[in-house]
């Protein structure tokens, strides 16, 4: 029996399938968890062959069946030749950067990206031979002006965390190609269900699987996908840095990914409803959501994303205390970090990951910015909760001493 060509299968059908290749016969409909970290070989000759072929049944740091099953699934969802998985999003990002950068390399990075990615790039550029320019990726001319003969990587995060800025992946990819640079895209906020960067010309796509891909706030992981020639060096570096995914974690992420399509569909639809509601609420000052017409990069977002994602960021009219009072008054929505889970959570990013970070130019976002990660609850019940909390926060602000002065 021949394998169904991948291009003919929708993501909807790919996501829940345990084995993409059905030619291998009688296997459980859930990938077995193999705990044994070290495998015995029948002969020393075979032992040598297993090592030399990077077999998944040799030593867990070099790969194991759970990791490989997950990697295959992500490669299929991103329409990539190859993928590797890691213990976390940051293990993915650090290993990928270390694999592709050398002393003297130049990186152009978005100036509003995940805090720890920014910190890592700053660390690499701090006496470690890598030069990094943080640039507003929405301004193609700025990016073009920074390109140099030694520019190795253009690093973009779209939508960006937490400001939901959108970078035009195809435009950056065209620019990079002219100069022989790689484009690495952190697509965590979009998921493969909303955006497939490789199809837009990106060299490598990566995700924190901790977020939407696993989706249940009970496991951490990361994935990187792309052509074999760019993923192979990352595999070699992973063997050195050792950020492997535990078999139990790989299983949980595989379990989560089976419902990625339906979760994404529901969450993205609710997020758009909440974004529209927030935009209409008088207590709200600004809403950031890629598929709102008011978003600065709405045109690009509509072109490259099938949906706006599951995160909505916004600010309220009033000072920091009003914002805190709003969060504290929520009853259904929980105050917690991270995003992409089945439960709706909210946080104020400036207090957290970005706390105390030396800001790159343009990195700074509103001290009061609120980041809402939408879950699977009933959309109207979420709106009701937000509405009562807004009312309560506004009332408190009005009652506060000095509020009327």
Ligand X SMILES: *Cc1c(COP(=O)(O)O)cnc(C)c1O
Binding site for ligand X (CB under 6 A): 88-90, 114, 117, 157, 161, 186, 188-189, 208, 210-211, 220, 222
Taking the least distance from each CB to ligand X, the nearer of 157 and 277 is 157
| Least distance in angstroms from the C-beta of 223 to ligand X | 10
| Least distance in angstroms from the C-beta of 303 to ligand X | 21
Question: What separation in angstroms does the CA of 327 have from each of 19, 303, 379, 386?
Answer: 43, 33, 18, 9
| Least distance in angstroms from the C-beta of 135 to ligand X | 17
| Least distance in angstroms from the C-beta of 267 to ligand X | 15
Residue number with the smallest Cβ distance to ligand X: 89
Under 8 Å between Cβ of 243 and 87: yes
Q: What distance in Å separates the CA atoms of residue 143 and residue 190, rounded to the nearest whole number?
A: 23
Taking the least distance from each CB to ligand X, the nearer of 117 and 203 is 117
| Least distance in angstroms from the C-beta of 26 to ligand X | 35
Taking the least distance from each CB to ligand X, the nearer of 198 and 397 is 198
Taking the least distance from each CB to ligand X, the nearer of 90 and 330 is 90
Taking the least distance from each CB to ligand X, the nearer of 89 and 215 is 89
| Least distance in angstroms from the C-beta of 171 to ligand X | 20
Q: What distance in Å separates the CA atoms of residue 391 and residue 1, rounded to the nearest whole number?
A: 62
| Least distance in angstroms from the C-beta of 55 to ligand X | 27
Taking the least distance from each CB to ligand X, the nearer of 120 and 176 is 120
Taking the least distance from each CB to ligand X, the nearer of 173 and 185 is 185
Output the furthest CA–CA distance in the chain (Å, rounded).
85
| Least distance in angstroms from the C-beta of 144 to ligand X | 25
Taking the least distance from each CB to ligand X, the nearer of 117 and 281 is 117
């Amino acid at each position: 029996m021949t394998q169904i060509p991948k291009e003919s299968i929708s993501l909807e059908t790919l996501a829940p399938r345990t084995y993409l290749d059905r030619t291998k016969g009688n296997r459980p409909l859930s990938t077995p968890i193999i705990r044994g970290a070290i495998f015995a070989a029948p002969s020393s000759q075979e032992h040598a062959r297993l090592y030399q072929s990077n077999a998944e049944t040799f030593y867990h740091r070099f790969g194991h069946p759970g990791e490989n099953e997950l990697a295959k699934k992500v490669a299929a969802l991103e329409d990539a030749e190859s993928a590797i998985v890691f213990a976390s999003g940051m293990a993915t990002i650090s290993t990928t950067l270390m694999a592709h950068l050398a002393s003297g390399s130049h990186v152009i990075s978005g100036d509003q990206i995940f805090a720890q990615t920014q910190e890592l790039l700053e660390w690499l550029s701090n006496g470690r031979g890598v030069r990094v320019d943080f640039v507003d990726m929405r301004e193609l001319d700025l990016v073009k002006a920074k390109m140099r003969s030694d520019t190795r990587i253009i690093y973009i995060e779209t939508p960006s965390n937490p400001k939901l800025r959108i970078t035009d992946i195809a435009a950056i990819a065209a620019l990079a190609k002219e100069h022989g640079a790689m484009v690495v895209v952190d697509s965590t906020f979009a998921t493969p269900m909303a955006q497939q960067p490789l199809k837009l010309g990106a060299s490598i796509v990566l995700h924190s699987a901790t977020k939407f891909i696993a989706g249940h706030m009970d496991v951490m992981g990361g994935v990187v996908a792309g052509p074999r020639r760019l993923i192979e060096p990352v595999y070699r570096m992973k063997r050195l840095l050792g950020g492997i995914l535990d078999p139990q974690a790989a299983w949980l992420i595989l379990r989560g990914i089976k419902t990625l399509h339906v979760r994404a569909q529901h969450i993205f639809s609710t997020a758009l409803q909440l974004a529209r509601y927030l935009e209409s609420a008088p207590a709200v000052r600004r809403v950031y959501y890629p598929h709102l017409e008011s978003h600065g990069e709405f045109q690009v977002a509509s072109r490259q994303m099938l949906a706006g994602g599951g995160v909505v960021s916004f600010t309220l009219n009033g000072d920091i205390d009003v914002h805190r009072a709003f969060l504290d008054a929520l009853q259904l929505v929980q105050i917690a970090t991270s995003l992409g889970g089945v439960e709706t959570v909210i946080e104020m990013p400036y207090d957290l990951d970005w706390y105390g970070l030396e800001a790159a130019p343009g990195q700074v976002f509103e001290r009061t910015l609120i980041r809402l990660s939408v879950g699977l609850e009933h959309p109207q019940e979420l709106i009701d909760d937000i509405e009562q909390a807004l009312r309560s926060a506004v009332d408190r602000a009005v009652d506060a001493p000095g509020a009327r002065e």
